[in-house]
Amino acid sequence: MATRALILLYDGFDLIDAGGPYEVLLTASRLLQREGRAPEFEVTLATPGGGDVTAFGGMTLTRLADSDAIDACDILLVPGTIDVACAVGDGVLIETVERLSKRAGMVASVCTGAFLLARAGLLDDAPATTHFEDLGDLASCGEVGSVIAGVRWVDNGRVLTSGGLTSGMHLALHLVARIASPDLAARTAHQLDMDWSPNPTR
């Protein structure tokens, strides 16, 4: 059975935070399908309520799934945003993260998506990372155990966080390695013409 990955979108999210991991997971599956094997990942883009959503900069995505109708997933991935205060102040969005995280095998964030995980209570007493410009704010928010600089991702087992923007692709490749195999992760990185290391240290 394919690993069900749900990428939760909301107004103002950073497109590369969602699009990078989306492309990594789809590429990993495509490589397997080329070999006549079943895809490893089933990727769904969803919003609270299922409405259209506009990324930072104005690109609008339509015909998205309704996250309210999704009962469970294997991976919940939350992208970041420029307007962190708006996102963490969105009660519906935070409630959606909280609800979905309870039925997700793993929860991951990209960039400032870590602030949403923190607000949802997922980073209490846990190490985490985010964009280098936001490490201080994450450390002082009072909702995270510790903050780690100089890494592309932090893997706490069930909850993972990544650094800024394209670090989300490195995190997604780590997920491919962890769930499928290191070989598939390396081949996926090569297909994407991307330098990747299983070591999260920059």
Structural domains present in the chain: 3-191 (3.40.50.880)
Q: CB–CB of 129/98 below 8 Å?
A: no
In sequence order, the β-bridge partners of residue 73 are 104
The confidence score (pLDDT) of residue 202 equals 75
Interatomic CA distance for residues 38 and 180, integer angstroms: 12
Q: Per-residue pLDDT tens, the chain, 202 aa: give them.
A: 899 999 999 999 999 999 999 999 999 999 999 999 999 999 999 999 999 999 999 999 999 999 999 999 999 999 999 999 999 999 999 999 999 999 999 999 999 999 999 999 999 999 999 999 999 999 999 999 999 999 999 999 999 999 999 999 999 999 999 999 999 999 999 999 999 999 999 7
For helices 167-179 and 15-34, the axis angle rounded to 10 degrees is 40
Strands, sheet with 153-155, edge to edge from the N-terminal-most edge strand: 65-66, 41-47, 3-8, 73-78, 104-109, 159-162, 153-155
